Amino acid sequence: MKQTEQYLIDVAYPFWETEAEIARRFFRGKPTREQHIYWLKAQLWKELHPVDGYFSGLHRELANLVEMFPEVDRTVDRHHYHGLMEQMVQEFNHYVLQADILEYLLGRKIGADDTNQLPEEKALGELRRSLVSGSAVEKAAVLVTEGGGARLFREGRKLKGSVLERKIASAMDVVYQDEKNHYRMAAREAASAVAGERDRKVMKRAIERVSLQRVYMRNEMFQYPLSDEAVERCVAKFRRPV
């Protein structure tokens, strides 16, 4: 089981580090106010609407918690329910922290129209949902890709300098601390769906497809710090033997 967990992590790793490289290049390039507004609007959309078959967006997940409440200590374990509540608080806090930065940049209160779903994000959602509706192995593979190994937040928390950079670093540090170990838990759960070599191959292919689309999503969000050729080189650079 442990070997399978590490195998799944190794498959996703080069794509996570490519996401990190995109973020590093963007932040080192001294982005303009408008460029910061662009990526924040796209990230806020992701925070509110991550509908992929595992997580149905904050509104739907909160509604599910309300419906589950009467079953606490009947058909729903109270510790499990408490964990779900804590997750919702964390997720909404991530939205709040980043929305505060956007308000700082815009100099006004923001509204629902200030979030933006970009084309590559839409394509990512469609791909993830298609796999979740497929085999149990493909569905488990999607779980491994969730969050991109928190690499964006790992890089963003390193920012120093201006008031804006410190605000971004502070927010991203909170998200990183909340999510830095999620990939290990996801790999552990996904590994339980792998029964043999065929399943490993199916899961590897699914992880690679979703992870590459995540890279395209991040590259668009940060207005293409990497060319398509540079993306390929970066993935190859970080690829581990599997």
49 — pLDDT class (breaks 50, 70, 90): confident
Q: What value does the mean pLDDT of the chain take?
A: 93
The helix or strand, by DSSP H or E, that contains position 199, with its residue range, turns out to be: helix 197-221
Percent of the chain with pLDDT over 90: 83
- CB burial of residue 73 (10 Å; 0-12, 13-18, 19+): exposed
- The span from the CA of 133 to the CA of 171, in Å, is 34
Please give the radius of gyration of the chain, using alpha carbons only, rounded to the nearest integer.
18
Q: Which of 57, 34, 41, 39 is nearest to 113 (CA)?
A: 41
Count CB-CB contacts under 10 A for residue 159.
18
Maximum pairwise Cα distance, the chain: 55
Which amino acid type is present at position 161? Answer: G
Top CATH class, 2-236: mainly alpha
pLDDT in tens, 119-178: 999 999 999 999 988 899 999 999 999 889 999 999 999 999 999 999 999 999 999 999
Q: Where are the domains of the chain?
A: 2-236
pTM of the model: 0.92
pLDDT in tens, 16-26: 999 999 999 99
